[in-house]
Amino acid sequence: MAKSEKKKDGPIMETVKTVVYALLIAGAIRTLIFQPFWIPSGSMKSTLYIGDFLFVNKFAYGYSYASCPSMFGVDFCSFAKGSDERLFGSDPERGDVVVFKHPVLGSDYIKRLIGLPGDRIQMIDSLLYINGEPVSITPAADFIETYAPQGPEGRSPSCSNRPAIDGACIKASYTEVLPNGVSHNILDIRETHVDNTAEFIVPDGQFFFMGDNRDNSVDSRFSQTGPQRGVGFVPRENIIGRADRIIFSSAGNSMFYFWTWRSDRFFKAVE
């Protein structure tokens, strides 16, 4: 009598295995290479819009506890927290647009890297000073958008003028050039208390971040323990990765509303 063949899995078990394998592969990719990120606020305009969907390149700076995604409120790599070492690590460069974990809240933020360890950072009359020297800025075309609720939170943008609903919201724009030659546009809405600051000295192993929408960004200029729960200095271990390219962008309340996708932002490089 011939030996019986190995019993094959039924269709339901095959489906379950396929789903499990797919989730494992997706989890590995998300953990090791790319992490999706949805822009929820206007703090990085005009570089990033509310509704931009991008992938964060984790490999760019190597891996720390922050590289491991959390699910259902569980931080699976919390055991590695507190170490300044990064696997395959390299430091970000000044001017990079970086995703990192808020040092206190633990939520993911995206800002531009302005200050490196040891740098002295200060704002004087809305102008950025790095190590005592003002950065170069030149006027650019005004940034104009519709004054209307934006994104899932339905917040209207801040404007230099006072437009009516669905009117033109205007913000002055400047091209800023950092000491290493990286240039990008920044927005100036109005005078705020962080347009003139004390000098920040960036500690060893930490970084200083700012939003390109300078008057509408809670960033390293704000204390972590203040009422606005600012970013303060960000430890090296909290860095997740670099934002390189926008995949697509939705002007609606959801990324799934494909009819609201912005046609000019498909695969747009983040600069």
CATH number of the structural domain spanning residue 152: 2.10.109.10
Catalytic residue among 43, 46, 217, 220: 43
3-state secondary structure (DSSP) of residue 149: coil
**What is the residue whose two structure tokens read 């409120």?**
73
Residue 2 lies in a domain: no
Element (DSSP H or E) covering residue 171: strand 168-177
**Average pLDDT score over the chain:** 86
42-68 average pLDDT score: 89
Catalytic residue among 45, 58, 101, 111: 111
Residue 6 lies in a domain: no
pLDDT digits (tens, 9 = 90+) for 208-258: 999 999 999 999 999 988 777 899 999 999 999 999 999 999 988 888 888
Residue 188 lies in a domain: yes
Residue 1 lies in a domain: no
48-60 average pLDDT score: 92
Range of the domain at 74: 13-265
Residue 76 lies in a domain: yes
User: Total structural domains in the chain?
Assistant: 1
Residue 141 lies in a domain: yes
Residue 8 lies in a domain: no
Burial class (CB in 10 A: 0-12, 13-18, 19+), 140: middle
The predicted pLDDT at position 220 comes to: 97
The predicted pLDDT at position 28 comes to: 47
Question: Which structure tokens are listed for 248?
Answer: 């697509």
pLDDT digits (tens, 9 = 90+) for 102-145: 999 989 999 999 999 999 999 999 999 999 999 999 999 999 99
Q: pLDDT band at 20, cuts 50/70/90?
A: low
Residue 246 lies in a domain: yes
**Is 43 an annotated catalytic residue?**
yes
Phi, psi (rounded to 5 degrees) for 121: -120, 135
